[in-house]
Amino acid sequence: MLTIKNITKRFGVQLANNNVSLEVKSGAIYGLLGPNGAGKTTLIRMITNIIMPDEGEILLDGLPVSAIQQNTIGYLPEERGLYKKLTIAEQLTYFGQLKGLDGREALKRGSWWLNRMDASGWESKKVQELSKGMQQKIQFISTVLHEPKLVILDEPFSGLDPLNSDLLISVIKELQERGTTIILSTHQMDQVERLCDDIALINRGRVVLQGSVREVRAGFRSDRVYVDYHGDDAAMRNVPGTSVVDSAAGRVELRIDNTDVQTTDILRYVLNIVEITRFEVAEPSLHDIFVQTVTGNVTMSLV
């Protein structure tokens, strides 16, 4: 649905995006990840036609992104964009009209969404009366009110408690089921793992890692092994090629210190000294992969 080809953007001497290329499949939830200052927001603003790239092209359904296509995009920015003294009904009606809806339809859709977001009866409230989390709900509703085919969410869970985060996750999945394509930019890696089909990691303006979540995790090997056992605790603290991260009676977490040592080697060794009730090689988390890729801190190793 969305194709980004060799995008470069400069602000004076600062290179915000450096030859970025991505493809977002129709109906997918795509994670756009990276540390602060990596160039994610600049890229999003070019996708939404707020600013233009210096080089490269951005295609939406095969056509260059333009002002006309902006009405097919819903963008929730990280910064709040609500009018504090307007009521919620006035707010949603205004945003709906900006995206081509008439006032009556905007209000009708707004009431439906308020009910869906556990905010029924808020129509007469003013934004300045709402908490940060409540404002985030209104910001989200204004983003999807016009039923865009591409929704871009920049830190959508900001200010939400765990219950409302779970509610938003459910709503995002519902949008995907309806065929909506979603780009999710967030630092909350647990939400990325729960939601995203594909991801791209941007660092210093360049794409340094991309692919499906499964492919990305398969490209890394964890250095942690968990063993539950019956037997000699002292022996389990001296497994060759490893060091103990944490231990208790009958349980140990080992870190592989020698890259020549394979988990099968550890398993064979341990089988000879204790009775194993659990042997688990920790699957690398996106958090660990993110940290290693961005900082070069070798807590994970490429297979």
Domain, as residue range, for 122: 2-217
How many structural domains does the chain have? 2
Q: What percentage of the chain has pLDDT greater than the value 70?
A: 97
Distance CA 83, CA 120 (A): 20
Contacts 24+ apart (CB under 8 A), 3-7: 3/58, 3/59, 3/62, 4/43, 4/47, 4/56, 4/58, 4/59, 5/56, 5/57, 5/58, 5/59, 6/55, 6/56, 6/57, 7/43, 7/46, 7/53, 7/55, 7/56, 7/57, 7/58
On whether both 191 and 241 belong to a single domain, the answer is no
Q: Structure pTM?
A: 0.81
Tell me, what CATH number does 282's domain have?
3.30.70
Residue 301, pLDDT score: 34
Domain boundary among 160, 191, 217: 217
Residue 224, pLDDT score: 85
Domain boundary among 161, 184, 217: 217
On whether both 290 and 169 belong to a single domain, the answer is no
Q: What are 94-140's pLDDT values in tens digits?
A: 999 999 999 999 999 999 999 999 999 899 999 899 998 999 999 99
On whether both 118 and 226 belong to a single domain, the answer is no
On whether both 246 and 152 belong to a single domain, the answer is no
Confidence class of residue 298 from pLDDT cuts 50, 70 and 90?
Answer: very low
On whether both 88 and 124 belong to a single domain, the answer is yes
Residue 288, pLDDT score: 79
Domain boundary among 217, 252, 282: 217
On whether both 229 and 191 belong to a single domain, the answer is no
Six token digits for residue 135:
């404002």
Six token digits for residue 79:
């910064």
On whether both 211 and 242 belong to a single domain, the answer is no
Average per-residue pLDDT for the chain: 90
